[in-house]
């Protein structure tokens, strides 16, 4: 791994951060050896790559210009943006194009309409997947929230039975969404990333590691 800044201070615990530019900052107690730090970074390499990818995706969103021909991802496929002038504003999708019907060629309005479309699709697809996979887990989910998340694909509050899912997941293949949803549902049974957690995940989704790797691409 490149671009790692290591800082030594009079602290008790190691603090590992991935910044929005993809760089890595590790603050360690003065007595920790370089070998220990190296081993820790190797163990955390998947976590680091995942955080870097999330920041990259977030950055790409901010760079969208919403011009015709620009590529937009949806469920693992990419579609060319096509603007159609219309008094009735909406977004549709076909085998090749993400079509946006809009009154005026307005960048900010295009952005609002497309994000709104993504969110509506995410609400429908994420809920259906969660409902299907919860037939396995059989746990009550008190709240499902779709959020703009910079450092996670999903999260779970075990005590309140809340599940949060990253809106960006709607751009990933369905099998990736299923992996994240089952991952978070499993936390309702096993709150930590324990051996039991991964045994349960493997039992009900034997190819979860393949799905996780696909999510990173």
pLDDT the model gives residue 174: 97
Give this prediction's pTM.
0.71
Q: Are 208 and 201 spatial neighbours (Cβ–Cβ below 8 Å)?
A: yes
Q: Rounded to an integer, what distance in angstroms lies between the CA atom of residue 159 and that of residue 187?
A: 10
Name the strand (E) or helix (H) holding 6: strand 4-9
> What is the crossing angle of helices 45-62 and 208-216, to 10°?
40
Ordered per-residue pLDDT tens for the chain, 217 residues:
557 888 898 888 888 988 877 888 889 998 888 888 888 888 888 888 888 887 776 655 555 688 889 999 999 999 999 999 999 999 999 999 999 999 887 788 898 999 999 999 999 999 999 999 999 999 999 999 999 888 889 999 989 999 999 999 999 999 999 999 999 999 999 998 999 999 999 999 999 999 999 988 7
Q: Are 98 and 82 spatial neighbours (Cβ–Cβ below 8 Å)?
A: yes
Full set of structural domains in the chain with CATH = 4-62 (no CATH), 71-216 (3.30.2010.10)
């Amino acid at each position: 791994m490149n671009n790692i800044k290591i800082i030594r201070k009079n602290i008790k615990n190691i603090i590992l951060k991935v910044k929005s530019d993809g760089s890595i900052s590790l603050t360690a107690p003065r007595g920790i050896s370089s070998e220990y730090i190296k081993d820790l970074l190797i163990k955390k390499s998947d976590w680091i790559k995942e955080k870097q990818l999330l920041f990259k995706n977030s950055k790409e969103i901010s760079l969208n210009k919403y011009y015709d021909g620009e590529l937009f991802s949806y469920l693992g496929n990419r579609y060319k943006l096509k603007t159609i002038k219309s008094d009735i504003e909406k977004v549709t999708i076909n085998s090749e194009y993400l079509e946006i019907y809009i009154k005026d060629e307005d960048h900010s309005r295009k952005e609002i309409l497309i994000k709104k479309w993504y969110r509506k699709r995410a609400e429908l697809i994420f809920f259906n997947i969660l409902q299907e996979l919860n037939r396995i887990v059989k746990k009550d989910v008190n709240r499902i929230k779709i959020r703009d998340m910079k450092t996670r694909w999903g999260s779970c509050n075990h005590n309140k039975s809340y599940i949060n899912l990253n809106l960006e997941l709607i751009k990933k293949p369905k099998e990736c969404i299923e992996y994240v949803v089952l991952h978070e549902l499993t936390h309702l049974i096993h709150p930590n990333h324990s051996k039991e957690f991964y045994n349960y995940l493997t039992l009900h989704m034997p190819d979860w590691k393949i799905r996780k790797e696909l999510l990173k691409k």
